[in-house]
Chains A and B, each alone.
Chain A
Amino acid sequence: MDITRLQFFAHLTAWVPAILLVWDYLTGGLTADPVQTVTQRTGRAAIFFLVLSLSCTPLNILTGYKGTIRIRRALGLYSFMYAALHMIVFFVLDYRLDFSLIFLENFNKLYLWLGFCSFLLLSALAITSYPWWMRLLGKAWKILHRSVYIVGLLTVLHHLFARKGNLISLQGDIGAPLVYGVIVVILLVLRTPIIKRWWIQKRLKLKLPREFPGLILRYLDKPLF
């Protein structure tokens, strides 16, 4: 199977946050509080690739372009990779696996429970993302993997509540989670069967080309070599 340019770019982009972390570690760029910095940066990377992965199917519905479907699983797995690093930093670097302290300090923190549930669900999706599982689970696989939207919502809430601010009065450092929240909701709306059918019919009626044209997309779909 040829690797398209889009796939190549997706993989390349996915390693950028990891490479920057290693670079900053080696050059002393992890700020005065490296544990907090690495926690936040791995978390941000996990959300970013999760939302990219979530946008693949709706983009396909919107435009008819199929290329995004080919990078959907990889983006989801990269999100899982950063989420796993995020958890390792929390449990190992920050709390030194002191589970009683972790519990005492954090059992009252809603945002951590949301993040933890989100990670457990994402782990289940990552584990069952292989074709072997797809065959084994049949129809159930599709239902299971639709729960990635639950992961998306839980993650956005986790991010939102992890920031200093107040959603009700729209105050504080909540810009980024709000943007992610709006994107996830729009993606979810596009995925709902009614909207999806309505839009595809409209697209066909408008005689929009079945596959979104454009030099860029034709470029992206070419094999890398």
Chain B
Amino acid sequence: MGEKIKTMIASSEITSETNYLSRRDFIKAAGLFLGGAGLLAACDTTFPPVSEPSLSPTTTLPSQDRLTTYEDITNFNNYYEFTPDKTRVASLAKDFRVSPWNIEIGGLVHKQKTLGIEDVLSKFPREERVYRLRCVEGWSMVIPWMGFELNQILKEVEPMLSAKYIKFTTLNDPEQMPGLNSGFYPWPYSEGLRLDEAMHNLTILATGLYGKELPNQNGAPLRLVVPWKYGFKSAKAIVKIELVAEQPPTFWNTIAPNEYGFYSNVNPNVPHPRWPQMTERRIGETGRRPTLFLNGYAEEVGHLYDGMNLVENY
């Protein structure tokens, strides 16, 4: 069931992407999925040295996950602040101003902070994280994000003991984001995590992908990425991070609580009234593939939910 690396490179038409997808990166990317927990957990600040296995570029990899193309990642976006039409976000977000940009981090913290995006970029070194992204709509991608662990920024502000949850708020600027003029939605977009989910080292704030700056349509300048949850949990264009005591209201949960729970962990055992959740369509592939419990990250994050009924707490 392997894919030939050569085919993957040949199928790419983007020069920079082809450069990016060097042999080493392929081995690394494959390693992330092959190695599972061990390798992922080892991704602290830099990638562990990759021992070069005897793989030639034409060797068949047993990995079933290959990177989604840059073209697809940047032209198929759910970003309702611009439009519900996934193919039009890229053009509508073209002139979005990502600088100057401030991120306010406050609430139940000892050291409230407002950071400029340039402070964030210089303070927290970026590393690459290749993650699956599973959209609640039943499609998925594999995305090489650039970013840093959310817990790094949280340690800076020193959460109080009373902080149990974390709330993210997206920019609310109707002049730049035409979708915000739609009265059908409870703007601004907000999302939330339990504090232990936020502190987990798989949870990152992304500022780039494919080794480049994060494109506006993917949530520039700063977005959340929580790979074991449905994509909508990963708020884009974040301006505010608050630590709170109670479970915060979240965007889609407010609209349809029976469909979108606070947790929204990827779970093939929890049906959705609209979209198939046992299987998914991987962008760039034909046919369906099984959806993995916690999006395949159960070994890393499963312990967060010990003793919890994840069907009730969907």
Contact = CB atoms under 8 A, between A and B. Distances in A.
Contacts of B283: 32-33
A171 B252 CA distance: 10
Interface string A170-183: 11111100000000
Contacts of A106: 276
**Chain B CB within 10 A, most for which of A32, A94, A101, A106:** A32
Given A101-B288, A108-B273, A161-B274, A33 B184 contact: no
B10 interface: no
B98 interface: no
B61 to A, nearest CB: 23
Interface residues of A, number: 28
Given A165-B255, A166-B256, A173-B84, A111 B274 contact: yes
Given A31-B76, A101-B279, A172-B185, A109 B274 contact: yes
Q: Interface size for chain B: under 10, 10 to 19, 20 to 34, or 35 or more residues?
A: 20 to 34
A106 B87 CA distance: 27
Contacts of A171: 184-186, 254-256
Contacts of B139: 33, 36
A111 B276 CA distance: 12
B278 A33 contact: no
B281 A36 contact: yes
**Chain A CB within 10 A, most for which of B86, B139, B256, B283:** B256
Name the prevailing secondary structure of the B interface residues: loop
B249 interface: no
B184 A175 contact: yes
B255 A172 contact: yes
Contacts of B288: 94-96, 101
B129 to A, nearest CB: 21
B256 A31 contact: no
Given A96-B287, A166-B255, A169-B255, A109 B281 contact: no
Interface of A: 31-33, 35-36, 94-96, 101, 104-106, 108-111, 161-162, 164-166, 169-175
Which 5 pairs, one residue from A and one from B, show the smallest C-beta to C-beta distance? A32-B76, A105-B276, A32-B72, A171-B255, A166-B256
15 contacts: A31-B76, A31-B87, A32-B283, A36-B137, A94-B281, A101-B278, A164-B256, A164-B274, A165-B255, A165-B256, A166-B256, A169-B255, A171-B185, A171-B186, A173-B84
Interface of B: 71-72, 75-76, 80, 84, 86-87, 137, 139, 184-186, 252, 254-256, 271, 273-274, 276-279, 281, 283-284, 287-288
